[in-house]
Structure 1
Amino acid sequence: MTVTVPLYDIFGDNFVITLASLTSNARRTLDSVEFDERELRDALLTASEVAKAREGAGKFDFPRSGNDKRSFSASLKCFNIPEGTPVSTALEKVANSLSPQPSCEEVSSLSMLKPEFYEYARTPGFYGGRKTGIEVSPTYVMLSVAGWVLSRLGRAPVANREYVGVYAFPIDIDRKFSTIPSLLKSLGNGMIPGTEPATALSIWLASKMLESKAIVDQVMLYFMSEPGGQSPARVTSGQIVSVERLVKHKKFSDVHKTAEIIARRALSPDPWECDKGGFSVRFSNLLFEVLTGSRREVELTYFANREYMSWRNSDDDKKKECLDYYKSASSIANKVAEV
């Protein structure tokens, strides 16, 4: 039996497509996604398992603003799910309620599903703002929750001690994304060290994928200010990240754990006394370029060894961890340069 889920040409479609990418024969049309019922059920149960694993690491609930409460409650009620039910249990209930599909009235779209819209949008030719009302089906809402579970890598600190949610989406419905649950489970509490620079984030993500044996060649990353209280969801930035050339480099598997430590330092918005002159960012940039073939290995070894020798020969009374840090960078560079 086929389950047809409408698309609404809003951001939430990404969540539905993420869920569909875990099935083998979902078909995307112009305005919907068609699922095989059994495969959709299996994908929902997979999302439920991921949610259960991450619920144990701290708060894990679909983010929503105060204005979303009525719509979310109505979506839960459509599937006979009580308020306050954990995400994992709710998705399990949805998985077992697909046949026959519940028939309920559409609800106002939640903020997380339409971050490209504010409550009111200014329209040329109209004074003030016009209400951007978008009605969606409760099934779309609950499948989007499942897609949220399967796409949310975690949250990352940015300036001024604020955080953004980090989301990874497949490039399209037929791209390999079936390994993503293993990566999500391995990330535990879902703390991402930061969002910039992109080179360091790619190295960090490639290392995590290699460690969890969950390689996803190419993903769309979005950073979102998640809703809460009276604040709506907002996409702050996004980028396409490809790890294929990193993980396929013959030396990356040898150095990825140490490289991840340096990438983590490069991503952190908090200054570190050992990281003089932005060394971590500069090293991550060079390492990424060398591993992807756009720079020569000698440039990385010269830079890393020069900084290491400078620290080793310094008369300053520095902490031992500073010298060890630069020594580890030197080791990575020398390892990558080995024939």
Structure 2
Amino acid sequence: MKPELAIYILMLLSVNFLAYRAYRYELQLINGTQMIQFGKSAPLMKRNIYIFFSGTILFLVSALRYNVGTDYINYKMFIAQPVLPDWERGFVALLRLTEIFTDSYEAFIFVNSFLVVAIFCKCYYDYIGFHPMALYLFITMGTYFQSFCLLRQIIAIAILFYGFRYIKNKHYIKLILCIIVAALFHSSTLIVAPAFLLANIKIERKNYIFGTIFGGVIAIIMQPIAMEFINQKYFGAFNNAVDSILPIYSIALGMIVFVFAMIYRDKLIQLNESNNALFNIAFFYLVYTFVFAYVPVMSRCFQFFIPFFTLLIPKIIMCETNPVTRKFFYALFGIVFFIYMCLFVKFTSAGVLPYQTIIFSH
């Protein structure tokens, strides 16, 4: 094990062990087992304890970081200036609220980390019973590590993810309000808002296939044109060799998830009609990646979709009735995204290595 990766791998293992234990007790509560002997309070308390400690680990690793993430120092310098940049009002309000109690930038990171981890943990419990695979993907697919860098956008992503309950229940007024609140932390929310407002529409299977093929052809045609424009406009925005293949990864990720979802689409919808929204979100992710994959500013919008994949993939696996195939899928996705996590934290420009903590920073 590489020393610089050790903290993240140990975090991944411990969080998922605790999430697995919490999920086991959640199943006991759902199935009513052990209720007669112990009563409902015993598994309920144990489940809540495991959820608490798994969330606490995620929170502490994020909150106690020091100079970890590309924007850590940038935000620290901006906040120290007499006049703040033209940031969204929700983020500024959160910053000012923190400053009532302390001017410490590290304290703001503490608050930011708590807010993000709390929202995501709440969502994973509400949406999928704190399924360990969802927590595993939350870490390995990069959303957790992006929270070290995208201090404003990650709050918007978390709020929009929280709004999935309004998509499922078709409470569109509440969804619009949720989008507005998210946009108060990062205006890019408005770019992806149409995808989530349209998530419940019914689309015929042939139109999904046609749209995917057509979008792929457009992407192939436009890629060299877009790359030439970006290299001139942004003076070689993709100088980093790994960052330059991230758009390809984004498209490949969308294709893999969408193909698996297409295979199990009928079972997904039969399991729960609200899964149609997750399926459509995966499709809209493809549309956005085809159009914006090589536009650096716009490509950040892809991050809004990734948390929904962490729900969709476990649901796809649970649709598989063959236990051997189900275990194979768990192993396949587990290995693939573990490798991706290692490559992401080590080679991309996210700046999450080496990990340092404020405990030993002085």
TM-score by length of 2: 0.20
- Structure with the bigger percentage of strand: 1
Q: Indicate the structure whose relative CO is greater, using CA pairs within 8 Å and at least 6 residues apart.
A: 2
From the CA coordinates, give the structure whose radius of gyration is larger.
1
TM-score by length of 1: 0.21
